[in-house]
Structure 1
Amino acid sequence: MKMIQEKYKGFATVLAYAIAPLSGIAVDLYSPSLPAMARDLHVSVLNMQASVSIYLVFYGISQLFVGILLDSFGRHRLNLISLLIFSLSSFAIAAIPNIHVIYILRAIQGVSIGIVLVAKRAFLVDMFNGDKLKHALSVLTIVWSIGPITAPFIGGYLQTSFGWKYNFYFLGAASMVGFILDWIFSGETLHAPAKFHFRQIAANYSKMLGTFDFILSITLSGLAYGVAMIFTLTSPFLIEHTFHYNSVTVGYSLLVVGLGWLSGNLLGKALIKIDLNKKIFIANIVQFTTLALMILFFRIAPNLYTLIGFTFFIVMASAFIFNNSFTYSLSRFPKMAGIAGGLVGGFTYILLSGITYLLLLFIPVTELMSLAWYDLILVGGISIVFVSFVRGRRKQVALKSASCPG
């Protein structure tokens, strides 16, 4: 097994940060092309959006179990194989424009990139500890957010200039470059693989799944990310069909909202030492306030600028909540990084895909108020889960104090 070399550790860490955003780029790059793909493949809007949901479901499912393999057999080899599969499947989607084939290949991509992301998270946990680990994981969420910013912008131009297939050619080429560089410069970071004991693994899963604050922090992450994802899925249709702009404008709009996501993550990192409950409470109030103003302006001044302007701040507050809750859950079990990272990512994206698909199924994208209803449901869900999270943590503190008198 090829262990990582000391002289390459710095570059390998940068490479981990560079590869991780592929999981988000795989959705956001072709989001401006969704209307064109629906037309070319002769399918409905919901059928085309389902390709995203399928990807997210399998992306989440793979993360639930891959942590066991990464903790038992190492990170590097599985990471390389998965990167190669992701690259080849991207080229295959462009070569075989059939909705059912795309569904299958998107499922394969979800599994493969899920393995890559958990491997890179575990890589960082192997390389850092303590406050440096929290810093590294927070940086990872910030770097990951670059995908939603740049991908739709690039995708909009690729769609306008060459067509939707070139989004997948781009994905294939980018992941192939990542595969080659990772093969050359990275290596195994797990020095003491855990023995594959089913009972111990089951006990670890049981411990994590029975930890109330851990599960609720994951739920917060899924709901917060859902606010950004629902805009990514609906904005191409709203902007093209309601306001009659092209896919380049969709790309620019997603770029602006993506900057909101990045700003929220940066703010989350900057305020990392402030009390978690206080931060999330204030961010949730900002969400409700901005959402109320957005609904008002949708009635009196429905245009692209009000859509993007208010969504920017709602998504920014959501990213702030996501950064804090995701970092909290990832660092909750540092001694079981592979399994914990898999559960965090897995449940977050399974929840994300389920919520977004159900919202789109029961509230069709017909007008601007559809987006307002989506946001109201998600932001309300964040409030409910947050209240439960706060109460759960208080009970944990009370029980701990009672068990350790004096």
Structure 2
Amino acid sequence: MKEQRFIRLLILGLLSAIGPFSIDMYLPGFPDIAKDLHTNVSKVSLTLSGFFIGISIGQLLYGPLLDKYGRKKPLYIGMALYIVASFGCAMASSIEMLIALRFFQAIGGCVGMVASRAIVRDLFDVRENAKIFSLLMLVVGVSPIIAPTAGGYLAAAFGWQAIFIVLGIIGTVILTMVIFLLPESKKPDPDYSLYPRSILGKFGAVFREQQFVTYAFAGSFTAAGLYAYIAGSPHVFMELFGVSEKVYGWIFTIVAAGLVAATQINARILRKYPSEYIIPRAISFQTLAGVLLLTGFALNWWGLYSSIALCCMFLACQGFTFPNASALAIAPFAQNAGSASALLGCIQMAVGAFSTVMVSVFHNETAVPMGGIMALCAFTALCILLFGRRATRKRKEPVESQTIDMLKRL
């Protein structure tokens, strides 16, 4: 039984990690991609934005499909598209072609992110979800530790194209594991309608849940700060601080290690404190780290090591926020878990795409755009959380008072 549980969690973790691995692994290849495709690093970062846009759109497509056809059939289709697009990226001959292929790679790969969250809701008790998401984050967290370092060595030894060939091979292995080792957690629902009006109605029902809106957007803006770091860090560390591809991979590994450690500390803290207690404190510390980064970059206070330390602090806070925000956002839904998961993922990636575009738009040969977007995202998340929780309490109070009055009459 324990072995079966471990295998299921491993596969769900790998499915969740497809997106992050596809993002992180090719970052050290940015300078080589720019050189080979006759462009600049700033424009290469648009391949990252295209990936985020593809994930945002794709998750909305897969949510209804996962609820109607079960979890595995959409997984087969999405993973097949991801594999084909990954090998296609290795053959891209222009930056425009690479942006387009990255978009389709994201459309395919995002099925793993949506399906894994929905399957967690299917297979595990809702009270366990935050802990399960923390365990999945352990697998997801390994990707930014391994991916940039591996990508740096692959790019140095075989060229950036080798990175996408390896991603295609990894996708093939994961698809094989899904086919033979992952059970179907939800039977197809022939009554589930795929008409646009019906789908929009289900998404609307999810959006009307105040708890979902609050934690989905708060979690998404904290994640957007992470994506701003991912988009801006190649320029900051490799061009401004002058580190090599391999050293950048190790820097990314060190920073990501803070994220991984935080997710596991979070799993232990959950034994004593609820998710509602942890989230506001984590986002407050993340906002502080973002403000310190921005101030130091603007005033030229930070060197290489202090910049790494503050980025590590910022990302570590995400390790506390993401599992708890995801669990609380999806908790109210049982029947529409696929749609709720899709909408949650779409919001996360749409906000993330916006943050990466902003880093590119405000690019000025300094570290200020990255630090500024990171600080703004964290502060926005804190505001959403505080106002959203207050609105939720106000909505619950009249209902609770009415219930008490009815009980008194009885």
If the length of structure 1 is used for normalisation, what is the TM-score? 0.91
C-alpha contact (below 8 Å) 2:266/2:320 kept by paired residues: yes
C-alpha contact (below 8 Å) 1:149/1:254 kept by paired residues: yes
C-alpha separation in 2, matches of 1:386 and 1:318 = 14
C-alpha contact (below 8 Å) 1:224/1:319 kept by paired residues: no
Aligned twin of 1:58: 54
Aligned twin of 2:84: 88
Q: Which amino acid aligns with 2:360?
A: L
Output one character per residue of 1:96-138: Cα deviation in whole Å (capped at 9) or x when no partner: 3322221221111111111222122222322222323443233
Q: Which amino acid aligns with 1:242?
A: L
Q: CA deviation at 1:309?
A: 0.7
Report the number of matched residues: 401
C-alpha contact (below 8 Å) 2:85/2:104 kept by paired residues: yes
Alignment of 1:130 onto 2:126: yes
Structure 1 residues 403 and 267: CA distance shift in structure 2, 3 A: farther
Aligned twin of 1:173: 169
Q: Which amino acid aligns with 1:207?
A: A
Aligned twin of 1:112: 108
C-alpha separation in 2, matches of 1:321 and 1:7 = 29
C-alpha contact (below 8 Å) 1:134/1:327 kept by paired residues: yes
Aligned twin of 1:310: 310
Structure 1 residues 203 and 306: CA distance shift in structure 2, 3 A: same
Aligned twin of 1:283: 282
C-alpha contact (below 8 Å) 2:289/2:314 kept by paired residues: yes
Q: Which amino acid aligns with 1:284?
A: I
Q: Which runs of 5+ in 1 are unaligned?
A: 1-5
Aligned twin of 1:332: 332
Q: CA deviation at 1:221?
A: 1.6
Q: CA deviation at 1:252?
A: 0.8
C-alpha separation in 2, matches of 1:332 and 1:141 = 22
Structure 1 residues 287 and 126: CA distance shift in structure 2, 3 A: closer
C-alpha contact (below 8 Å) 1:225/1:319 kept by paired residues: no
Q: Which amino acid aligns with 1:307?
A: S
Aligned twin of 1:251: 249
SS at match of 2:45: helix
SS at match of 1:404: helix
Alignment of 1:376 onto 2:372: no
Q: Which amino acid aligns with 2:366?
A: E
1:130-209 to 2 correspondences below 5 Å = 130-191=126-187, 193=189, 195-197=191-193, 198=195, 201-209=199-207
SS at match of 1:335: coil
Alignment of 1:355 onto 2:355: yes
C-alpha separation in 2, matches of 1:46 and 1:33 = 13
Q: Which amino acid aligns with 1:401?
A: E
Identity within the alignment, %: 21
Aligned twin of 1:121: 117
Aligned twin of 2:384: 385
Q: Which amino acid aligns with 2:240?
A: T
Aligned twin of 1:24: 20
C-alpha contact (below 8 Å) 1:213/1:392 kept by paired residues: no
C-alpha contact (below 8 Å) 2:60/2:339 kept by paired residues: yes
Structure 1 residues 148 and 196: CA distance shift in structure 2, 3 A: same
SS at match of 1:103: helix
Q: CA deviation at 1:25?
A: 0.5
Structure 1 residues 375 and 10: CA distance shift in structure 2, 3 A: closer
C-alpha contact (below 8 Å) 1:64/1:347 kept by paired residues: no
Candidates 26, 30, 41, aligned match of 1:45: 41
Q: CA deviation at 1:297?
A: 5.0
Q: CA deviation at 1:251?
A: 0.5
C-alpha contact (below 8 Å) 1:27/1:52 kept by paired residues: yes
Structure 1 residues 402 and 360: CA distance shift in structure 2, 3 A: farther
Q: CA deviation at 1:140?
A: 2.2
Output one character per residue of 1:138-192: Cα deviation in whole Å (capped at 9) or x when no partner: 3223422222222112111112222211110110111111122222223422135
Structure 1 residues 9 and 81: CA distance shift in structure 2, 3 A: farther
C-alpha separation in 1, matches of 2:184 and 2:88 = 30
Q: CA deviation at 1:219?
A: 1.2
C-alpha separation in 2, matches of 1:217 and 1:245 = 37
Q: CA deviation at 1:397?
A: 2.4
Q: CA deviation at 1:365?
A: 4.8
C-alpha separation in 2, matches of 1:194 and 1:331 = 25
Q: CA deviation at 1:236?
A: 1.2
Q: Which amino acid aligns with 1:251?
A: G
C-alpha separation in 1, matches of 2:347 and 2:231 = 20
Candidates 265, 269, 287, aligned match of 1:267: 265
Q: CA deviation at 1:271?
A: 2.5
Q: CA deviation at 1:400?
A: 2.5
Q: CA deviation at 1:295?
A: 5.0
Structure 1 residues 108 and 371: CA distance shift in structure 2, 3 A: closer
Q: CA deviation at 1:72?
A: 0.7
Q: CA deviation at 1:70?
A: 1.0
C-alpha separation in 1, matches of 2:296 and 2:346 = 37
C-alpha separation in 2, matches of 1:143 and 1:403 = 46
Structure 1 residues 391 and 15: CA distance shift in structure 2, 3 A: same
Structure 1 residues 161 and 76: CA distance shift in structure 2, 3 A: same
C-alpha separation in 1, matches of 2:268 and 2:4 = 29
C-alpha separation in 2, matches of 1:257 and 1:86 = 28
Aligned twin of 1:3: none
